């Protein structure tokens, strides 16, 4: 192939429209022709810039009101008297928006994804082309200068995101910030807060909501930055109430991270560092060793020190069910206990049954699948085979489908 032909084929190459043979031919040419490789790099850089464009643009604020009033006008003749008001399921809508955007982004053209993630082995290509030469200090400085400017820019940008100190309000008793009785009402990043017995304090978490710390609670403010707010909890009891739909707040307890996903939840850690979480509204996500667990509203979950995250159970579940769950989680209860759980579980325990699937044998997974599917049929993307084979995406998809219906 000539350089002119390659130049045209490069577009098909980055669009992944070439067959394997042609693709190889282009790659071979790029390895040997510096001019064409330069053209390829320009194209690649262009797609990287394109990738950095915002995926969506904010519509005008009043557009939704205008649509609503137009819909009202059009439906004036209709018989029903259904008022057009923004749905109370705002959280659900927000989640659905994100899902929809994620799906559309995935089909936004394979070339952009592959170019940025796979980079088409560009490093290997450039390695083969680059010829060894003497170090040119002027060139080196010119190359490093933009990097230094970018690094400085990033540092300044990062600095503007710091949101500490957080405001603390004493409700009763005494609180200590970094070991001293607090009089300032300010909690800085890297410092601790401790409430004495019979004490209570409320902390405002920027972009999230409020954290209420009960008596004998010890917390450390690990990170206080917009987009990354982290508190480490050593012991005590806290309650989080979100005022934002998309909070950016996490709590760390013994190698587990609890990510706030909106709503209201409380967390208790005892002196043995065993933790328990109770979700009143919304849901939370727990991450342990790279694995995600979800706890939905109305559910509770135990997190023993240095042990796996327990199976979530409904707050109204009877003690007998809780004992059986404990047996499955920590006493090798296995299929026998799972069988008993299936027998006594009701409709409100279906997320518990879903969480038990990875802990059951294959035959019991089918039983669990059928019991859940009777009430909440799985979405199209979820199959019985996938669930039995413990496909993580399917388990997660089904969880979210059940969650919004509950």
Partner 1 sequence: MSIENTQYVSYLVELAKQGRRNAYFDLCNINLRNVFTIVYRLLTDYELSKKITIAVLLFAWDNIKSYNPKISFALWIKDLAVKYSIRELEKRGEIKLNNSTASNNLPNLEYQIMTLSNEDRIIFVLHDLEGYNYYEITTFLTHLSIDEVKTKLISTRESLIKQFEP
Which of 70, 306, 385, 396 is the binder for partner 1 (CB under 8 A)? 70
**Greatest C-alpha distance within the chain:** 83
Backbone phi, psi, residue 20, to 5°: -55, -40
Contact pick of 43, 129, 384, 395 for partner 1 (by CB under 8 A): 43
Query: Which one among 3, 35, 50, 171 touches partner 1, defined by CB under 8 A?
Result: 50
Binding to partner 1 by CB under 8 A, coded x per residue (else -) over 334-373, reads ----------------------------------------
- Interface with partner 1, residue 80, by CB under 8 A: yes
CB atoms within 10 A of CB 75: 13
Residue number with CB closer to partner 1 (41 or 257): 41
Residue 404 interacting with partner 1 (CB under 8 A): yes
What is the distance between the alpha carbons of residues 349 and 314, in angstroms, rounded to a whole number? Answer: 6
Nearest CA among 332, 312, 331 for reference residue 322: 312
Smallest gap from Cβ 108 to partner 1, in A, equals 4
By the rule CB under 8 A, 106 interacts with partner 1: yes
* 8 near partner 1, rule: CB under 8 A: yes
Q: Are strands 249-253 and 228-242 parallel, antiparallel or unpaired?
A: parallel
> In the complex with partner 1, which residue's Cβ is closer, 182 or 401?
401
Shortest distance, position 262 Cβ to partner 1, whole Å: 16
CB 165 within 8 A of CB 185: no
Question: Of residues 3, 93, 151, 344, which one binds partner 1 by CB under 8 A?
Answer: 93
Choose which of 28, 32, 35, 63 interacts with partner 1 (CB under 8 A): 63
The DSSP symbol for 255 reads T
φ, ψ (nearest 5 deg) of residue 184: -90, -30
When asked if residue 76 is in the footprint of partner 1 (CB under 8 A), the reply is no
Answer for which of 3, 66, 171, 281 binds partner 1 (CB under 8 A) is 66
How many residues of this chain interact with partner 1, rule: CB under 8 A? 55
Alpha-carbon span 375 to 172, nearest angstrom: 47
If you search the block for the tokens 């998809």, which residue do you land on? 397
* Residue 104 sits in the site that holds partner 1 (CB under 8 A): yes
Among residues 3, 67, 142, 148, the one that binds partner 1 under rule CB under 8 A: 67
Number of H helices, E strands in the chain: 14, 15
> Radius of gyration of the chain from Cα atoms?
28
Q: Is 65 in the site for partner 1 (CB under 8 A)?
A: no
Binding flag, residue 152, partner 1 (CB under 8 A): no
Using alpha carbons only, give the angle 20, 21, 27 rounded to the nearest 5 degrees.
85
**By CB neighbour count within 10 A (0-12 exposed, 13-18 middle, 19+ buried), where does 19 fall?**
exposed
CB-nearer residue toward partner 1: 111 or 365:
111
Is residue 85 near partner 1 by the rule CB under 8 A?
Answer: yes
- Should residue 19 be labelled a site residue for partner 1 when binding is judged by CB under 8 A? no
Strand-pair category, 275-288 with 192-195: unpaired
**Rounded Cα–Cα distance for residues 1 and 5 (Å):** 6
Please say which residue, 66 or 390, places its beta carbon nearer to partner 1: 66
Whole-number Cα distances in Å, 30 to 36, 38, 46, 124: 6, 9, 18, 11
Positions touching partner 1 (CB under 8 A) are 8, 11, 42-43, 46-47, 49-50, 52-60, 63-64, 66-68, 70-72, 74-75, 78, 80, 82, 84-87, 89, 92-93, 96-97, 99-101, 103-104, 106-109, 111-112, 379-381, 401, 404
């Amino acid at each position: 192939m000539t350089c002119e032909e390659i130049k045209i084929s490069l577009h098909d190459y980055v669009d992944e429209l070439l067959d394997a043979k042609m693709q190889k031919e282009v790659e071979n040419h790029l390895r040997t022709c510096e001019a064409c490789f330069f053209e390829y790099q320009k194209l690649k850089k262009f797609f990287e810039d394109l990738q950095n464009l915002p995926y969506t643009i904010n519509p005008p604020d009043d557009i939704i009101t205008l649509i609503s009033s137009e819909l009202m006008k059009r439906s004036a003749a209709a018989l029903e008297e259904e008022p057009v008001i923004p749905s109370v399921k705002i959280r659900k809508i927000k989640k659905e928006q994100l899902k929809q955007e994620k799906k559309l982004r995935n089909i936004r053209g394979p070339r952009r994804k592959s170019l940025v993630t796979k980079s088409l082995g560009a490093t290997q290509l450039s390695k083969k082309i680059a010829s060894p030469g003497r170090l040119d200090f002027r060139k080196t400085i010119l190359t490093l200068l933009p990097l230094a400017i970018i690094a400085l820019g990033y540092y300044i940008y990062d600095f503007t995101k710091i949101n500490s100190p957080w405001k603390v309000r004493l409700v009763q008793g005494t609180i200590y910030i970094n070991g001293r009785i607090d009089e300032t009402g300010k909690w800085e990043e890297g410092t601790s807060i401790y409430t004495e017995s019979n004490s209570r304090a409320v902390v405002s978490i920027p972009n999230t909501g409020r954290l209420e710390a009960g008596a004998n609670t010890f917390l450390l403010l690990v990170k206080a930055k917009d987009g990354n707010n982290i508190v480490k909890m050593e012991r005590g009891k806290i309650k989080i109430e979100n005022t934002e739909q998309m909070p950016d707040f996490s709590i760390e307890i013994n190698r587990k991270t609890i990510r706030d996903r909106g709503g209201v939840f409380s967390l208790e850690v005892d002196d043995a560092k065993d933790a328990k979480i109770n979700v009143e509204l919304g849901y939370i996500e727990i991450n342990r060793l790279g694995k995600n667990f979800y706890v939905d509203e109305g559910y509770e979950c135990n997190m023993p020190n240095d042990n796996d995250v327990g199976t979530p159970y409904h707050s109204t579940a009877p003690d007998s069910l809780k004992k059986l769950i404990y047996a499955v989680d920590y006493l090798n209860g296995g299929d026998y206990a799972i069988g008993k759980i299936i027998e006594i579980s009701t409709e409100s325990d279906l997320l518990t049954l879903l969480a038990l699937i990875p802990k059951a044998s294959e035959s019991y997974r089918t039983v669990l699948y059928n019991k859940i599917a009777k009430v909440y049929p799985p979405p199209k993307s979820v199959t019985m085979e996938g669930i039995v084979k413990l496909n993580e995406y399917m388990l997660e998809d089904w969880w979210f489908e059940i969650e919004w219906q509950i």
